[in-house]
Structure 1
Amino acid sequence: MTQTLQPSVVNRRGPLRHTKAQLENRRLTVGFIGGSITDARPGHNWPEPVTRWLADQFPQARITVENAGIGATGSDLAVFRAKRDLIDPGCDLVFVEFAVNDWEVPTERRNKTREGLLRQLLADGTRDVVLVYTYNQDMYEDMMNGRVPHSIAEFEALAEHYGLSSVWMGLHALNEVRRGILQWEEWLPDGLHPTQRGSFSYGTSVIGFLQEELLSNVPASSEAAAPKELPAPLTEGHWQNARFVPFEDIRTEGPWTVRRWVNLQWIDHALSTFAVGSKLSFDFEGTVLALAFDFGKRSAEFRYRVDGGEWTTSNRERPDWCGPSGWLKLEVLFDDLPSGIHHFELEVVHGSRPDCGGTNLDLAFAGIV
């Protein structure tokens, strides 16, 4: 449901204490996580002007960038990636962008994944987190009529609860269109993904926020201290406790191999087969089970069940932009299991879709909550 919050490009809810302290120490590691609009691979997305501004403004500091954005992924996958790609590299400042890619995810699910992600990032009290929001066409009517689209309003509720600042980059760009500064086709040539000019507009809104936050003469040591403990969660069943089933705990039948995965930098090793009929199984304790794959048009389908129940066969869409592989795709198979220990089984099948052109099954991880 659309919310009637007052739309604002920037909402400040707390100082960037850790960022300022690290800049005073002449070292800052900046993390980004989100979808294709944040992904570093195009070379022009909005993190690029933000990074350039930081390097220019603070030449005495070594700026390290950990851009963990991946196209066509949401906050559910991010929950399982945060430790490897943002926390372990020591990010001091993290920007989170999932208002668009979570758009079609049911509210109950995305509230669990988003809050789980934020609680992971905030748990050790060593980094600042800023939420940023982009744009899709489904937001148009709300934004043109001064309303906050539901996906953003739900993020804002979390931002209020955890005292996180936010920057609505999409509203900034839309305001530039209204003012005659930015042409729509300059902003969104394909209706969703900015190129150089639109990304610069997005980045400018974040830079404006950072200018006010970081260029004040107030030293980090005098800023109000952040709470030492996280507040109680807003969402029951949030995914903060996301973890993995080790490959060594997965039983296999047929020709499986564990391979160092050189094809996609976000995967260290994959459990891999291309033999139809190959099987795997494992036991786990939790209420959520999700599998992540290096997925594409040459990927197999699979059938699966838990606790000896009915078999379900996957039937995954392969859009035109999807290549033979290279999409780190998460499949949430169960998200409301009863608490306790469960037994999972999977069998590789070819799949009967016309766009299913192979039998590769490359498992990046089995994730549980």
Structure 2
Amino acid sequence: MKLKFSATTLLLLLSISVSAQSSKPLETLHVRGGLPNFYSKAINTKDSLTVVYFGGSITHAPGYREYSTQWLNQNICNGRIRSINAAIPGTGSDLGVFRLADDVLMHKPDLVFVEFAVNDRKTDSTTITNSMEGIVRQIKNQNINADICFVYTICDDSMLEFELKNELPVSIKQMEKVAQHYGIPTINYGVDVIRLLNADKLIFRAKADSTYGDKIIFTIDGVHPTIDQGHKVYEKTFIENFPKLNISKKRQPKGLPNALSAGNYENVHIYSPKVANNHGFRSANYKRDAKSFMKTFPDMIYSVSPKDSIVFNFKGTKIGVYDIIGPFGTNIAVSVDGGDFKNFARFDEWCSYTRVGFALFDDLEDKEHRVVIKIGDKVENKLATLGRRKPNIEYFEDIEQDCLYIGKILVVGQIK
């Protein structure tokens, strides 16, 4: 007997199907290939193990990173963990893929935790996929036996809305594609947060001067978990799930699988500005704004004049700068292959203080290019941009000046 359905009926059935899928609870853990090499070394040898925590401000804080290191030392590694904090607040995978060599690979890690879901939440999907795949391939190219685990934290931006509906936020969806392709385990810390929130046991964004009885105060600002309560939720999730990643060591792959994207950021390089031809930029060694950043950027240069420029040739698809920004911030102007200069902002609402920043410019055809960089157009009405943060300006007089700092040059490809 043949069944006939009207268009309305089919749409209703599809709607029910989609609703059922979205109502399915999110999974905290995807084991995939597990962490066989880490566990094998921890259990079968007396060697020290290097664990690198790679992420943004949530990882940089003395919270889940320190709690998980302590648990690993006490329960698996007998104090043999060498923990490396390779997190930089306010940065995502798009900068992470460039700084990986200096901040992660130089330590020759046995295990790398990668945490960028929150800071990638406003990054476009292609950049996330290319960056995360580039991170994985660089780690594995150095040591095919190094294990990787993606960890997903949560904030009350769109991420909370998605997970309350049992849907993965966009950044996590893209990361899961990479994890699935390479067999990388993932731990979604947000799942237990949502469970506690739905059970009315947790306040996601609490007021600093209020009390909430025995409820967990997860954050004050909606992003950064409180050290003594919010990060403890992450710790509990870690302790419950990490032992499940101890799976039998399978035959090791001879190499990496084919890339998901031919445009992934595996072939990235980070250069001193000294590689460029310098026409007027000066050393930032003596500049007050740059003083505390010279360890990261020992060759940092600066300019206050649009007559100054740096020029270099490269073969590849993308360039950018790794810099510092603050009240003195301005625009950076970039010309490629003799084209018109295009401005990119190096000042934002958070520039009441000086901090590390970066900017990646437009995608280019994969060929040789000639690049000219100089200070861009003046930023108008900085105080309006800062808004409610303007009373907290670090050096108020800096608002009146425009200064462009360049700490390093970022390239997908190679400078010639």
- After TM superposition, the score normalised by the length of structure 2 is 0.79
Residue 201 (structure 1) aligned to one of 216, 233, 252? 233
Counterpart in 1 of 2:50?
Answer: 29
Q: 1:338 to 1:117 in 2, by over 3 A?
A: same
Q: How many angstroms does 1:357 deviate by?
A: 4.4
Q: 2:371 aligns with which of 331, 335, 344?
A: 344
Give the drift of 1:265.
Answer: 7.6
Distance in 1 between the 2:171 and 2:271 partners?
31
SS in 2 for 1:78: helix
For the residue of structure 2 that corresponds to 1:151, the secondary structure is: helix
Deviation sequence 1:118-164 (CA, Å, 0-9, x none): 21122221311001111122123332222222221221121111001
Give the corresponding residue for 1:49: 67
Residues 104-119 of structure 1: pairs in structure 2 closer than 5 A? 104-119=122-137
Contact 2:153 2:190 in 1 (8 A): yes
CA displacement at 1:6 relative to structure 2: 6.1
For the residue of structure 1 that corresponds to 2:380, the secondary structure is: coil
Alignment partner of 1:90 out of 82, 87, 108: 108
* Residue in 2 that maps onto 1:264: 293
- 1:331 deviates by 0.7
Amino acid at match of 1:107: S
In the TM superposition, 1:175-194 aligns within 5 A as 175-184=195-204, 185=206, 186-194=217-225
Are the structure 2 counterparts of residues 352 and 183 from structure 1 closer, same or farther at C-alpha, using a change threshold of 3 Å?
closer
Cα pair 1:296 1:323 within 8 Å, conserved: yes
1:234 paired residue number: 260
Report the AA paired with residue 130 of structure 1: C
**How far, CA to CA, are the matches of 1:268 and 1:152 in structure 2?**
31
Contact 2:326–2:347 (8 Å) recurs in 1: no
Superposition map of 1:60-139 within 5 A? 60-123=78-141, 124-137=143-156, 138-139=158-159
Q: Distance in 2 between matches of 1:18 and 1:262?
A: 41
2:354 aligned partner? 325
Aligned residue in 1 for 2:403? 360
CA distance in 1, matches of 2:79, 2:47: 4
The answer as to whether partners of 1:304 and 1:344 remain within 8 angstroms in 2 is yes
With CA pairs under 8 Å and 6+ residues apart, which has the higher RCO, 1 or 2? 1
Residue 171 of structure 2: aligned partner: 151
Whichever residue aligns with residue 271 of structure 1, its letter is: M
How many pairs does the alignment contain?
356
Output one character per residue of 1:333-356: Cα deviation in whole Å (capped at 9) or x when no partner: 122x11211111112247223335
Q: Quick check: 50-59 or 23-32, which moved more? A: 50-59
1:74–1:102 Cα contact (<8 Å) kept: yes
Match status 1:212 vs 2:244: yes
Counterpart-to-counterpart distance in 1, 2:64 and 2:294: 21
Residue by residue over 1:245-281, the C-alpha shift from the partner in whole angstroms, topping out at 9 and shown as x without a partner, is: 4433201112422759752387142331243232111
Aligned-residue offset at 1:179 = 3.2
Aligned equivalent of 1:287, options 308, 314, 317: 317
Percent of residue pairs bearing the same amino acid type: 27
Q: Which amino acid aligns with 1:209?
A: N
Distance, in Å, in 1 between the alignment partners of 2:25 and 2:316 is 39
Partner of 2:189: 169
Q: Check whether the contact 1:18–1:127 (CA below 8 A) recurs between aligned residues.
A: yes
Q: Are the equivalent residues in 1 in contact too, given 2:305–2:375 (CA < 8 A)? A: yes
CA displacement at 1:26 relative to structure 2: 3.5
CA–CA separation in structure 2 for the residues paired with 1:262 and 1:58: 41
Aligned residues of 2:72 and 2:81 also touching (Cα < 8 A): yes
Q: In 2, Cα distance between the equivalents of 1:56 and 1:127?
A: 22
Equivalents in 1 of 2:113, 2:294: separation in Å? 20
Are 1:18 and 2:18 an aligned pair? Answer: no
Q: Secondary structure at the match of 1:37?
A: helix
Gaps of 5+ in 2: 1-20, 207-216, 383-398
Separation in 2, partners of 1:233, 1:59: 34
Q: What's the offset of the Cα at 1:316?
A: 3.4
8 A contact 1:33–1:94 mirrored in 2: yes
TM-score for the superposition, normalised by structure 1: 0.88
Deviation (angstroms), 1:359: 3.3
Point out the structure with the larger helix share. 2
Structure 1, residues 301-356: CA drift from partner, whole Å, max 9, x if none?
Answer: 32221111011123334224x44322x21211122x11211111112247223335
**Per the alignment, do residues 54 and 358 of structure 1 end up closer, same or farther by CA in structure 2, a change over 3 Å counting?**
farther
Give the Cα separation in 2 of the matches to 1:315 and 1:341. Answer: 25
CA distance in 1, matches of 2:25, 2:179: 15
- Structure 1 341/348 Cα, relative in aligned 2: closer, same or farther at 3 Å? same
In 1: Cα distance, 2:282 partner to 2:138 partner = 33
Which is higher, the Rg of structure 1 or of structure 2?
A: 2
Q: Is the 8 A contact 1:299 1:325 kept in 2?
A: no
- Tell me, which stretches of 5 or more residues in structure 1 are unaligned? none
- How far off is 1:298 after superposition? 2.1
| Contact 2:149/2:185 (8 A) holds in 1 | yes
Bigger drift between 262-271 and 233-242 goes to 262-271
Does structure 2 conserve the Cα–Cα contact (< 8 Å) formed by 1:6 and 1:148? no
Cα-to-partner distance string for 1:214-251 (whole Å, 9 max, x where unaligned)? 5xxx8xxx621332211111123000110134433201
Say what the alpha-carbon RMSD is for the aligned residues: 2.5
